[in-house]
Amino acid sequence: MKICFVSSECVPYAKTGGLADVSGALPKALAESGMEVKTFLPLYSSIQTEDYDLKPDISNQGIRIHMGRLSHDFNAWKGHLPNSKAEVYFIDCPTFYHRGELYTNQLDEAERFIFFQQAVLRILQNEHWAPDIIHCNDWQTALIPALLKMSYKWDALFKNTKSLLSIHNIGYQGRFSRDSIYGAGLPYKYYYPGGPFEFYDSFCFLKTGIMFADKISTVSQTYAKEIQTPEFGAALEGVLHDRKKDLLGILNGIDSSVWNPLSDKHIPQNYSFDSFLKKKKNKQALLDAFALPFDTKTPTIGIVSRLAIQKGFDIFKPVLEKILRNDVQFVILGTGEPEYEEFLQNMALKYPGKIAVTIGFNEGLAHQITAGADMFLMPSQYEPCGLNQMYSLNYGTVPIVRQTGGLADTVTDFTQFPTKGNGITFSEYTSDELFQAVERALKLFKNKQNWKKMVSRGMGEDFSWKASAAKYIKLYQQSKLIKQESESIKDKIYD
Ligand code: ADP
Ligand code: GLC
């Protein structure tokens, strides 16, 4: 099967969050299962082509894309995901992708990703490469299903091409001015209140994707159910509920060539469950680096996170000082909303021996915290999948999480289920429940026998991509069975 995987970020080239980890690992796992995979990514200015042995793709140079009255040219670059047969194409258009950040709030944000999606389809045409599936990820790539059904319908190349839209976070929807519909080359007549492109008086890329994709997936089973409810659906619950038949939750895996305590290149001391005592050296090095006192009896709680409301910082903020009255330390790495950056920095100044904070994005430090901490806190308001709790489990760093989305699917509370618990969970999204959960964890930490049980279960969890990749392949196969004259919304109304 031929799979075209389209994403706005991908490890090791460009990353702001978990989507990059997935895009770097899933295509690799698919290629290992015998699929022919081409991944597509914008060539952001932060990507140094020589670092990854990327070469100009001589058959895809100087391609012009028209977007309404605008037109720009791009060149393609090519390479392979590290240690993989999966090819990666990069769309090089400095006007759009040399911005310092992957995502911007600038006026042409819609055009940046319209251009990207058009460029992908143009390369496929140039290469005469007809994918069985175009696997789109999040709003930045969610117009492709509609483009296939409308603007590119004339091209017989895509006659048997189906689309899958994976939703990694329903909170980011890509909503823009209706004028962008012209730029996208989609028919404006379908923009009307409640229509397939319209969402609260805006042109919504994600809603368009949900309406037109042949299949829809999200990154955990619980989140697949949650997004069909008003609490979690971010107002798209109705549209998703209508497509329930085609919506599936598949838990992300983790790339064990990158996240594995036995071989992790970023940490001072490799270890496994059998050599668990060695983990202590990572704790010592981490605390030394931040001038925090080292004592095996004092638990260290790690946080590595985007500092966004989604991640639970609004319930963490009111109880942090109360938690700090215990014998406990925090090492926190994050970047995001200024309110939380300032708050955490102030706390670090106020409690110098107890809390260390690094504001920024630092891959190595993320690994060192995961390996060096005793516990890992993720009090998310919602969490489509979450990767850090899986990394922590495999690193013997006990997760304390709110029971939502992928956190609920991977972490089982030890107090409630002593025979299978691998971490600590709480359910209500309140500061009080978060506080109680941390207190429980601190108490459990003193009971070495129970702690070891949790650690051994976590380290034994198999989160490898193989199983999840097999589920995607099954979903691809199912989408191939959808007939052209199927009942799905897009064919019924818009043919
Ligand atoms: P999300 O994608 O919502 O941010 P995930 O848990 O799926 O959450 O993935 C986050 C990924 O980004 C993990 O690999 C995590 O280690 C990484 N990450 C988040 N913040 C930082 C940071 N400040 N520095 C380095 N890595 C980070
Ligand atoms: C999103 C979600 C996160 C998920 C990641 C990868 O960023 O917030 O929960 O793990 O995508 O699917």
Range 118-150 burial, b when 16+ CB lie within 10 A, else e = bbbbbbbeeeeebbbbbbbbbbbbbbbbbbbbb
Please state which architecture CATH assigns to domain 276-462: 3-Layer(aba) Sandwich (3.40)
Report CA-CA distances (Å) from 257 to 21, 25, 51, 221, 465. 12, 9, 19, 25, 11
Q: What percent of the chain has pLDDT over 70?
A: 97
pLDDT 10s digits, 250-277: 999 999 999 999 999 999 999 999 999 9
**Whole-number pLDDT of residue 494:** 52
CATH 3.20.20.70 for domain 2-253+469-490:
no
Residue 102's nearest CA partner among 169, 12, 15 is 15
Written as one letter, the residue type at 345 is Q
Q: Per-domain residue ranges for the chain?
A: 2-253+469-490, 276-462
The answer for residues whose C-beta is within 8 angstroms of residue 102's C-beta and 6 or more apart is 8, 9, 14, 16, 44, 46
> What angle in degrees, to the nearest 10, is found between the helix axes of 431-445 and 448-460?
110
Q: How many CA atoms lie within 13 A of 104 on its CB side?
A: 15
Say which residue the tokens 């698919």 belong to: 30
The answer for residues whose C-beta is within 8 angstroms of residue 416's C-beta and 6 or more apart is 425
Q: Do domains 2-253+469-490 and 276-462 have the same CATH topology?
A: yes
Collapsing DSSP to helix, strand or coil, 242 comes out as helix
**What angle (nearest 5°) sits at the alpha carbon of residue 477, between those of residues 476 and 481?**
115
The answer for residues whose C-beta is within 8 angstroms of residue 443's C-beta and 6 or more apart is none
- For residue 153, pLDDT over 70 is answered with yes
pLDDT 10s digits, 15-25: 999 999 999 99
- For residue 136, pLDDT over 70 is answered with yes
Which atom belonging to ligand 2 lies closest to the Cα atom of 310?
A: 8
pLDDT 10s digits, 333-359: 999 999 999 999 999 999 999 999 999
Cis peptide before 12 (omega within 30 of 0): yes
pLDDT 10s digits, 52-71: 999 999 999 999 999 988 99
Exposed, middle or buried by CB within 10 Å (0-12, 13-18, 19+), for 105? exposed
For residue 49, report the distance from its CA to the centre of ligand 2, in Å.
27
**Whole-number pLDDT of residue 484:** 54
Question: What's the rounded Cα separation, in Å, for the pair 357 and 374?
Answer: 17
State pTM to two decimals.
0.96
Question: What's the rounded Cα separation, in Å, for the pair 233 and 239?
Answer: 9
**Whole-number pLDDT of residue 486:** 45
The helix (H) or strand (E) run that includes residue 302 is strand 300-307
Collapsing DSSP to helix, strand or coil, 379 comes out as coil
Using CB distances shorter than 6 Å, the residues near ligand 1 are 17-19, 21, 304-306, 333-335, 361-363, 366, 385-388
For residue 223, report the distance from its CA to the centre of ligand 2, in Å.
11
- For residue 488, pLDDT over 60 is answered with no
Q: Ligand 2: which of 8, 19, 226 to mutate, most ligand atoms within 8 Å of CB?
A: 19
